[in-house]
Structure formats: structure tokens, C-alpha cells
Amino acid sequence: MTANMEPLDVAVSRINTGSTIAAGLALEHAIPFAVGHELLRQGVGELTVVGPISDLLFDQLIGGGAVSDVRAAWVGNVSAGTGYRFREAVENGEVTVEDHSNFSIALALQAGAMGVPYLPTRSLLGSDIFERNDRFTEATDPFGGEPLVLVPALKPDWAIVHAQRASPDGDVHLWGNTGIVEPAVGAAENVLVTAEEIVEPAVIKSDSSRVAITRDQVTSVVECPFGAHPSPVTGCYNRDNDYYLRYNRQTETANGFEDWASKWVYGVSGREEYATFVDTDLEITEPTVAAEVQYGQ
Amino acid sequence: MVSEDYTDRELMVTTAAREIEDGETAFVSMRLPLIAFQVAVSTHAPNAMAVYESGVIRDAPADGFIHTMCDLPNLNRAVATTGMIDIMSRLQRGDIDVGFLGGAEIDRYGNLNTTRVAAADREIRLPGSGGACDIACMADRTVLLMPHESRRFAEEVNYVTSPGYPADGNGRDDHPAPGGGPSALVTSKATFGFDERGELYLRTVHPGADVAGVLAAFPWEVQTADDVGEGTVKTTSEPTDEELELVRTFDPDGFWT
């Protein structure tokens, strides 16, 4: 089984209103903003968004009215703190939030990936994240007698991942920190990969150790240069810090968000046109090249 | 000694940096700790390691300013760029010596709230835990960093995002979380310890601050070093010239400091 290699709009059209999507899985690194903006353009709604630290992606989806439920550990703007669209939507009762810690969301997905109903942890005990969420259960370790929290498995409809390169078949190289990419990909029913570059399968097979996702896990693979801007992508481009600060100032009100979105989301046909708006120099200044690795037989 | 002025936050960074001992593994979170680890590893703790919840592991300063743990200078020439299950598993095993936490609210037992606070007529939603709850539950000890503002010191926090010590006075002995709990609070005016019962006490005041002024920000009668048999309240050590220069190298525009 291989993935469908297709344009971004076609891939995103597979995501239905009401879906549960896991995204922003590598934390502040390689966030799939291009997919988020296409979801808004296509008017996909009632999404349940799942993630650890979403750093603006969820704020933008919420601001665009695409989200009904949030299951996350942290939603905001890492540089500036507040994500105003998230904050206002929660305070107005427009979205519900299931609060997690980073580890509990990781374990929920890891359990999904492992095909077990739950995983135990020694975190959360004594916190209101545990006390105020009926989904978690306290249990006693049957072997040692210690208290544990059982985190039930979570299997999202979609995991959305941005990577450096992929083959047309959907085998994916990614490098840099991975956050909870692996457990989310393992747990999800479908995976959408956007890649900076589509490469020959031989390139992927030349370095098997770097393969993080295999074709049988992937539903759609999309060539999408600059698909993670304003977040950084190792080896490709730096974080656009000014963008995060500007977004914070511009989206304090709903009207401000509409103005922002009318330019950056609805005012462009796709990522290529979007990229023309970015005039900050994000080029990496130290293109560190890994020492050669030899495989053989 | 220093010959020039420094900001409250620069002093907070250097004070936090001194909480990392040589050879320790620190769980480094956002904002000031990003700078504090780099100062520590450049001065008294050259053998310290940093782990970040994104999966990054470092043993040296980044070669550029970092807004977040995932900025490319922090990934470049890292020891490893792994994933969260790996990092959190090390934490859960008990391998992390010290973690750093901030909060919107703190109570006398070091319970922290970063989830939602009550305002005059409504509740204000904050970003949430991230990895803070996990660090609070499972690190051997935690160091808390907060601006010294009276609205942040609460008899009871609105939401316990990151547990400190229980109010029963037994410290972490009966507490289900395996970590050791908070060992210090560094504010913009003072430093605090936690006594064996887990209650906050004033340890030092920063240069220019006075004890009465520091304590006036709290809604409860805060213990001092004298009350817990640790001598008297001293003055916080100022940053050295070397430390200040490092802070300004790692945060050249003063974005975090």
C-alpha cells in the first residue's frame, strides 16, 4: 500500500468536518501551518484538535471557527504567551478544552499506537489536570502497590506531519526533534504528510535510519515547500520570530484576526503565494552537514 | 563584583543558573530557564546536561539566540534530537535532577497554576500545563520562577496545574507524585526555600529590596529563614560580571531578560 501523492487542497479535502486531528506534534518545530490554513480555506469545521504545545496553529484554527474541542497540554503563542483567539473562545464557551500535560497526551497517543487500551503514569497525581478530568483513572500498581494514573488510548482520525523530505510513495525522512510525532502517527487512522521536498525513493532508501514514517502509515503525501512557516524546519529555514510577535498584536480582537486571516489565509490561493508575503531572511546561517554514514553488506 | 546595573530578570536568570549543580541533568523549560541553563553550563556546571520536552538534549550553549527550545540554534549540534516519550521517560524514571517552572499563581505550598485564573467578574483562560505538571510531579526537585506581584500569591490557587506540597504538612512523604517537590522560588525581588513541611519561607532579598516590602505582597504571613532555623534573611548574591556578560550574549536584545 502506498500513499496518494497529491496537491495540498486535494489531500486536505479528505479531512471531514467533525474529525479529530493531531497536529503540531514536534512542538515548536515543523508545525504544519500550510495544512491548517487550507483547512480554514475549505471551511472544515467542528474539529477536535489534539496536540502537546500547539504554538499558534490551534489559535489560528480556533480563530477561523474550525474547532469545537481542544485536547491539549498548552495552547498559546510561545514567544508572546497568550493566544487571544483560543482564550476568548474558551471564555465565551465556544470551544471545550480537555486539559492534559504533555506526557498525558503523549501517553494517550502511545497507547493508541501500541494497541493497548491505556498506559500508566506516575505523573498527574495531585494535579487538577487529573482531578477535573473524568477520563483519567487512578489505579494501584498490582505488582508494587504504588498509585498510578491510567491514561486511556487516543486514536485520532488524522495525524498531520510536516517533514523535510518524502518519496512519492509516502516513505518519510524527518530529522530534528520529533516531540510526539511517532506516537501520533502510530495511533492515527490516517496520516497526512507535507514535505519540503519530494525525492526519489532511492534517496530515502540510502538512509533507512532516518525514515520516521513508512508508506503504509500514510494516506496523503504533499510537496509543500515552506509548509511550516513561521515555525522552523531543521536544515531548511529558521523560525520567523517577528511573525509570532506581530500575530500576537494583530489578533487581540476578533476583527483583528479577520484582518490577519483575510491576508494570510483567505487572500492566497496556496502556499506559493503565501511565501511571497514573507520578506524576513530565514535562511540558516550554519548549514551543518552530518558526517557521512556508511551502510553496506 | 558588578560595576553596572542589571535588570530583575537578569538577576533571576543568574540565581536560577546557580541552582543547577555540576554534573546534573536539568529539565529546561521556556523563557528564563532557556538562558539560565546556558549560563550554568558556561560557568560552574560545565558537565551539566539539559533535556527539553520537545526531545532536544544539549550539553553546551546554543550558538544563537533562542526564543523557544526548538529554535534551530538549539537543535544545531545538540547531543541528541529525540522525542517526548524518551525525555518524559527519563523524568519518570527519576533521572532528572532539577526542573524549572513558572506560574501565574502560587500558594504557600508551591502549588502552581498556569491554566485559569479568576479575575473580578470572570475567569481568564491561560495556556495550560505543557510539560509543567510532569516536571512538578516527577523531577527530583523543582525551581520556581515568578515575577514578584501580589496577584500571583494566593491562599488557594484557582487550579493546581503543577502540584507542589500538600497542605497536610507532611511534605511529599504521603504525596503520590514521585518527585521531590519545589526546592526554591526565585521572584523578581527575593528567593524562597521550602521547609520540611513544604511551606514557603523567605531566604534572601535581592539588592534594593527590603524584607517588609517583599512580604507585604503575600496574603498570608510568610515564614522567614529565621522562623525555620536557617539563620537570618540575607541579600541575594548579585550577578558577577562574567554571568552578566553571558546572559547578554545569550539574550543580546534582552527579549527574555
Tell me the domains of chain B and their CATH numbers: 8-250 (3.40.1080.10)
Helices (H) and strands (E) in chain A, counts: 11, 13
Give chain A positions within 8 Å (CB) of B90.
none
Query: Complex ipTM, two decimals?
Result: 0.97
State the pTM of this model: 0.97
Q: What is the DSSP letter of A290?
A: P
Residue tagged 483575510 (cell numbers): A262
Is the model's pLDDT at B152 over the cut of 80? Answer: yes
User: pLDDT value at position B174?
Assistant: 83
SS3 (DSSP) at A210 = helix
Q: At what angle do helices B32-42 and B8-17 cross, to 10 degrees?
A: 50
User: pLDDT value at position B4?
Assistant: 63
The residues that bridge with A21 in the sheet, in sequence order, are A49, A158
Alpha carbon of B198: minimum distance to chain A alpha carbons (Å): 14
Q: What percent of chain B has pLDDT over 90?
A: 91
Helix (H) or strand (E) segment spanning residue B122: none
B88 touches chain A (CB under 8 A): yes
Q: How far apart are CA B198 and CA B166, in angstroms?
A: 8
Q: Span B101-114, mean pLDDT?
A: 96
B173 touches chain A (CB under 8 A): no
Give chain B positions within 8 Å (CB) of A121.
92
**Domain A4-117+154-275 is of which CATH architecture?**
3-Layer(aba) Sandwich (3.40)
pLDDT tens by residue, B4-52:
689 999 999 999 999 999 999 999 998 999 999 999 999 999 999 999 9
Alpha carbon of B234: minimum distance to chain A alpha carbons (Å): 33
User: pLDDT value at position A21?
Assistant: 98
Is the model's pLDDT at B2 over the cut of 70? Answer: no
What are the extents of the domains in chain A? 4-117+154-275, 122-152
B72 touches chain A (CB under 8 A): yes
Q: How far apart are CA B253 and CA A250, in angstroms?
A: 22
A174 touches chain B (CB under 8 A): no
User: pLDDT value at position B175?
Assistant: 87
Number of Cβ pairs < 8 A linking chain A and chain B: 190
Q: What is the DSSP letter of B239?
A: P
SS3 (DSSP) at A52 = strand
Cβ-nearest to B83 among A178, A231, A234: A178
Q: How far apart are CA B29 and CA B48, in angstroms?
A: 15
SS3 (DSSP) at B156 = coil
The residues that bridge with A161 in the sheet, in sequence order, are A193
Indicate yes or no: CB of A28 within 8 angstroms of CB of B68: yes
Q: What is the DSSP letter of B152?
A: G
If you compute the radius of gyration of chain B from its CA atoms, what whole number of angstroms results? 18
The pLDDT averaged over each successive group of 10 residues in chain A (297 residues) is: 95 98 98 98 98 96 98 96 96 97 98 98 97 96 96 98 98 98 98 98 97 98 98 97 96 98 96 94 92 94
Q: Which residues, numbered 184 to 223 in chain A, qualify as contacts with chain B under a Cβ-Cβ cut-off of 8 Å?
A: none
Is the model's pLDDT at B80 over the cut of 80? Answer: yes
Q: What percent of chain B has pLDDT over 70?
A: 98
Q: How far apart are CA A21 and CA B26, in angstroms?
A: 32
User: pLDDT value at position B215?
Assistant: 98
Q: Is residue A105 within 8 Å of A73, Cβ to Cβ?
A: yes
Q: Span B79-90, mean pLDDT?
A: 98
Is the model's pLDDT at B3 over the cut of 60? Answer: no
Residue tagged 489505579 (cell numbers): A139
Mutate to test the interface with A, among B51, B76, B84 (most CBs of A within 10 A): B84
